[in-house]
Structure 1
Amino acid sequence: MKPGTKPKPTHLKLVTGNPGKRSLNRKEAKAKAAIPAPPHHLTADAVEEWNRVATELYNLGILSEIDRAALAAYAMAYGRWVQAERAIAKMAEKDQLTGGLMIKTSNGNAIQNPLVGTANKAAADMMRYAAEFGMTPSARSRIAAQPPEEGADPADRFFA
């Protein structure tokens, strides 16, 4: 069975309307905005990307501690993509004809450099994760986020 489209978050239904008149999830989970620490297994390129996007996602009110694994997967895909592209560029310096995109087998046949497939797969993974966080123009058009309120806990309205 083929899965349908991802459900729209309740706060977006409230803002954009609910044309299907489906019941709204009034108990939708909301995570507290936070910047999680990057996992130790990330490569240097992945950590650099983590640091670049984590603050931006936090400022948009999108990032929380629970998102650590998803952001790590995005950062690792980015790191693999960069590493593969660097390796292809290095090979391109020696191979002016194909620019490192093709290699010769032991039989002398030309085939696509496996690094090209690695780079393409990592880029596809990276873009899929980026869309989950609203880091593409089309994904951003579907998000209505509010920056976290400094020092304010939403529960304070009820318990303070």
Structure 2
Amino acid sequence: MAGSAGRSGRRPKPTARKELAGNPGKRALNKDEPVFSPLKGVDVPEWFIEVDLPLATVMWQMTTKELCGQGLLCVTDLSVLERWCVAYEFWRRAVVQVAKQGHVVTGATGGPVKNPQLTAMKEHSSELSTTGSMLGLDPSARSRLIGLAGKGKSDNPFMKMINS
């Protein structure tokens, strides 16, 4: 969206990737990255098992292992991670149904109609992209979130006095 802070133009590279590359652009690196306490590990939500979401459970285990191993998963991310895992489960179910039934199915009136599972696939794919980006499951998304953290600072001396 043009004109939105942090959203227009090319997505920024994560600071860690810039440092690994030797900061080829020689621009200042983001020093205001937010610091949250990372989790060492977290159990699968009980309700995943209660409502029989086996793929969501597997994705939770695999994703938390990776995110916790990198120190990237915090308590503030857990509800978004739940949404991501559930979206993955339902997306996979829709993919299987389309593979079995095809793109066109018989409608209520007996004529051919677009398989409703295609719409479900698209909606869950969108949820996967949105929540995955919020979790920083792609490097550019993590960098964009980090880059916006320091934007609200003010040079107002009174604000500095209040905040100290």
TM-score with structure 2 setting the length: 0.62
Which secondary structure does the structure 2 equivalent of 1:41 belong to?
Answer: helix
Q: Which residue does 2:128 correspond to in 1? A: 126
Distance (Å, rounded) in 1 between the aligned partners of 2:145 and 2:65 = 17
How far did 1:105 drift? 1.5
| More displaced stretch, 46-55 vs 59-68 | 59-68
Q: Specify which structure has the bigger relative contact order, considering alpha-carbon pairs within 8 angstroms and separated by 6 or more residues.
A: 2
Q: Which residue does 2:107 correspond to in 1? A: 105
Structure 1 stretches of 4+ moved >4 Å: 140-144
Q: Which residue does 2:45 correspond to in 1? A: 39
Distance (Å, rounded) in 1 between the aligned partners of 2:3 and 2:104 = 37
The change in CA–CA distance for 1:84 and 1:59 in structure 2 (over 3 A counts) is same
How far did 1:60 drift? 2.0
1:86 counterpart letter in structure 2: V
Unpaired runs of 5+ residues, structure 1, are: 92-99, 145-160
How far did 1:136 drift? 2.7
The change in CA–CA distance for 1:46 and 1:5 in structure 2 (over 3 A counts) is farther
1:84 matched to 2:94: yes
Which secondary structure does the structure 1 equivalent of 2:46 belong to?
Answer: coil
User: Superposed, which structure 2 residues align to 1:19-34 within 5 Å?
Assistant: 30-34=35-39
Aligned residues: 129
Q: Which residue does 2:82 correspond to in 1? A: 72
Distance (Å, rounded) in 2 between the aligned partners of 1:140 and 1:32 = 16
Higher helix share: 2
> How large is the RMSD of aligned CA atoms in angstroms?
3.7
Distance (Å, rounded) in 2 between the aligned partners of 1:71 and 1:3 = 29
The change in CA–CA distance for 1:111 and 1:137 in structure 2 (over 3 A counts) is farther
1:50 matched to 2:52: no
How far did 1:40 drift? 1.7
Distance (Å, rounded) in 1 between the aligned partners of 2:56 and 2:6 = 27
TM-score with structure 1 setting the length: 0.63
